[in-house]
Structure 1
Amino acid sequence: MPMGGINNTAALAILSTLGGMALGAFVVWLASRLLKRWVMRLVGRTSSRTDDLLASLVLSTITPLAYLGVAVWGWQSLVSELQALAAGAWLDRVVEGAFQLVAIVLVVRLVNSSLLLLLDRSLRRFGKDRQIATLQSLAPMIRTLFWLLGGLVFLQNQGVEMGAIYASLAGAGIGIGLALKGPVSNFINYLTILLDQPFEIGQVIQFGGHWASVERVGIRSSSLRSLDGERIVISNEDLLSQTIRNFGDLPRRRLVHHIGVEYQTSLEKVRRIPALLQQVVEQVPPAEFDRCHFVRFADSALEFEFVYFVPGGDYVLALNVQQEVNYQIMEKFLGEAIAFAYPTQTLFLEGGSLPPAMPSTGSSADSPQVISSKT
């Protein structure tokens, strides 16, 4: 074929390809605008801003991918029509590799932005400000991880032999894991405390028989202050391996008490005691009365159990309320002539006389004698 015919054929192929690409680009532009308008109207019905931002991220990625698809179609059409380009296989691989690289970059950016956005919004909704700061410090590491995954996917699509790379990464991972076992373990325990939040700074906790308030949480260890005043420094791993009882975030504290009255108390007074205890608790704010019952006949007392609540987790407040309740109970029982019980022993002597040290009660020698002694 004459050179002029070849040039005309190439020119026509290029013009038709450019025309098709222009038409495809126009279709993508029109479709993206209509899709964006419809999606924004749909997500605008909700009060949350998260779905608006997420929709914007997705649309900002879909549109470049659509334009990229048009470019890939144009290149393949041009290659199929021009034998000269088809003969240059290396050029075709370079162009397709560039297209794949751009697509992977767009997808990785979308994944990174969407994931960090969802995590940030979730933490903000639950009011976890400290976790938000931790997420921001970990964001570069998360982005790097997804960029590495995207790079591996790109290399694999380009036909690179990945066996040696995976083996090298596995060997390096084992060596790094052994070398950084301690620091990594400390960092994971630190993240566990920040994310799971078993306690916060200033709260009183109990662990391993110790009561202490949390002063500082570090990457390797935590510093606490015991109720006696000494400072306790314990590694996060040892702290998390124990059962932790957190008293700092109690919605209310439940107090259970038992009191005993003498067996000589009349039935009428025994029946009145639950109501008396309820009156006492209700007169000591902010205590909230729950219940009071005559629970058992103890060895030396008629035993009552009463329960009330104190709002919040302030231990000192609970002790102050308990102290005032005890004062009021003593005052109420004194006014009602109700005697508290104390441990006693009662001996019954059959047909005998009283010991010389005990005064005679005027009873006959044949009647049983009762001797009560305090213990």
Structure 2
Amino acid sequence: MDNVLALYNYFSRIPLEDLPGVALQMLPGALLGIGLAFVVLFLREFIVGRMKARTERTHTHPVLTIWAKRIAESVKTWFVWLAGLQVAVQTMPYMALVDGPMRRLFMLGVFLQLGLMAVHALSEWNRETARELRVKEPARVAMMASMVRVGYVFIWLVVFILLLNNYGVNVSALVAGLGVGGIAVAFALQNVLKDIFSSFSIVFDKPFVVGDFIAAGDFMGTVEEIGIKTTRLRSLSGEQIVISNGDLLETRVRNYRTLGQRRVVFNIKVGYETPAAKLAKIPPMIITILEKMDDVRVDRVHLQSLTDFGPQYEAVFYVEKPDYSRMMDVTQQMYLEMFTAFEKEGIAFAVPVQKNVGELAAHQKMDTEMPKNRREANAVKTATVKATAKPKAKTALAKPPRGKAAKGRK
């Protein structure tokens, strides 16, 4: 403001008869600034018009063409006139007093214009990327929008720091303070930052996308939304499961989207009373049942082992459709036809019955040692009592006196 007042005082001291000469000296610089501004504005409109016409004519959207158009559109009219004014001030005489303030104002406009151009370029990149991903991966579109907003904040933060540095402010202390504050914030929000960076990993690495059926730990369901902090699944029973992105990437994730076929392994046991000839018929019988089904490819059927309950067969086949319901339909049909075929051949499935041989022998021994009737039981009991009873001690009894001795006593 002081420089402007000084410039006003300087021109006010010029005699009136000298003003036309001073104006003629300043006219070339002013015309140069104005002409340069008009040329830049004309070039901007020309580039935008040509890029737009080319896009409409070819019905295509080349990346370089779109970017050139967006960058040209981002050049603001006020910045063009500000640049023209700066050129005029630099070339006109008598403008040394306002050269410093004008340069600072021009640098402010430069940084603002660069920030706007960076924002427009990032926005155009996001728009073109979203156009390609909107059909295939709609979840990535939302994630990219969140990342672009973070990019906007970063761009304007850099512009602000550069602007302060250009104005002579010592930004090293500010950057150091931001670093210390960033460390403190990182410690306080480490779980949140972990989830955010995990979401970036999910977006770029794409272990799964919206619509995939995944299993993570004890949870499984269809991916409905991939957010910047959490991922939402819709379970088979209908409820929504919300899992943080950090926890999700720390577990083993099974993705069933690329499942082209399902491998089924099942075991059956038959009784030991089954004849050997019928045991040999079982593998061809199972193969015949499976080969008659649609979408089924048989791998093998073998007598695998002899278990406690009976011979065990193992069969392996593939359902050539990833649909879980189709796999269960095939399995059900196979078991029903197997029951029918075994019933015709007189083959019985093994029944898990166990007998304790030691306990059975003990009961048989007790049965053989029991007396045949109650009289024998009583006799045995009496004999046992007599054998174990102790003899009683005999007591000496005085005999009554006889004869005269007895009378004398009377």
Task: Please indicate the TM-score interval, normalised by the length of the shorter structure.
Answer: 0.5 to 0.7
Indicate the RMSD between aligned Cα atoms, in angstroms.
4.7
Number of the residue aligned with 2:396: none
Residues 278 and 47 of structure 1: CA distance in aligned 2, closer, same or farther (over 3 Å) = farther
Number of the residue aligned with 2:96: 86
Provide the aligned length of Structure 1 versus Structure 2: 326
Cα distance in 1 for partners of 2:37, 2:117 equals 20
Match of 1:124 among 127, 131, 134: 134
- For 2:51, the aligned partner's letter is V
Asked if structure 2 preserves the Cα contact closer than 8 Å seen for 1:252 and 1:313, the reply is no
Number of the residue aligned with 2:335: 326
Number of the residue aligned with 2:83: 72
Residues 22 and 235 of structure 1: CA distance in aligned 2, closer, same or farther (over 3 Å) = closer
Asked if structure 2 preserves the Cα contact closer than 8 Å seen for 1:199 and 1:246, the reply is no
TM-score computed with the length of structure 1 as normaliser: 0.64
Asked if structure 1 preserves the Cα contact closer than 8 Å seen for 2:32 and 2:87, the reply is no
The DSSP-based 3-state class of the residue aligned with 2:297 is strand
Query: CA offset at residue 250 of structure 1?
Result: 5.4
Residues 188 and 33 of structure 1: CA distance in aligned 2, closer, same or farther (over 3 Å) = closer
Cα distance in 1 for partners of 2:23, 2:118 equals 38
The DSSP-based 3-state class of the residue aligned with 1:245 is strand
Structure 2, unaligned stretches of length 5 or more?
A: 1-13, 352-410
The DSSP-based 3-state class of the residue aligned with 2:277 is coil
Cα displacement string for residues 308-348 of structure 1 (whole angstroms, at most 9, x for unaligned residues): 2253443x54223211122224445666x5969979xxxxx
Within a 5 Å distance, the mapping from 1:5-44 to structure 2 comes to: 7-44=19-56
Residues 253 and 271 of structure 1: CA distance in aligned 2, closer, same or farther (over 3 Å) = closer
Matched, 1:254 2:262: yes
46-55 vs 219-228, which moves further: 219-228
**Structure label with greater radius of gyration:** 2
Number of the residue aligned with 1:372: none
The DSSP-based 3-state class of the residue aligned with 1:311 is coil
Residues 329 and 106 of structure 1: CA distance in aligned 2, closer, same or farther (over 3 Å) = same
Cα displacement string for residues 47-83 of structure 1 (whole angstroms, at most 9, x for unaligned residues): 4598776454222025759x72x7536633543441x
Cα displacement string for residues 244-292 of structure 1 (whole angstroms, at most 9, x for unaligned residues): 2244x3554412336689863699x69965862453322xxxxx12343
Cα distance in 2 for partners of 1:96, 1:122 equals 39
Asked if structure 2 preserves the Cα contact closer than 8 Å seen for 1:101 and 1:154, the reply is yes
Structure 1, unaligned stretches of length 5 or more?
A: 283-287, 344-375
Cα distance in 2 for partners of 1:144, 1:231 equals 33
Cα distance in 1 for partners of 2:335, 2:115 equals 71
- For 1:290, the aligned partner's letter is R
Asked if structure 2 preserves the Cα contact closer than 8 Å seen for 1:255 and 1:309, the reply is yes
Structure with the higher helix share, 1 or 2: 2
Residues 270 and 178 of structure 1: CA distance in aligned 2, closer, same or farther (over 3 Å) = closer
- For 2:336, the aligned partner's letter is Y
Number of the residue aligned with 2:117: 107
Residues 313 and 328 of structure 1: CA distance in aligned 2, closer, same or farther (over 3 Å) = same
Asked if structure 2 preserves the Cα contact closer than 8 Å seen for 1:85 and 1:92, the reply is no
Query: CA offset at residue 211 of structure 1?
Result: 5.1
TM-score computed with the length of structure 2 as normaliser: 0.60
The DSSP-based 3-state class of the residue aligned with 1:292 is strand
The DSSP-based 3-state class of the residue aligned with 1:281 is coil
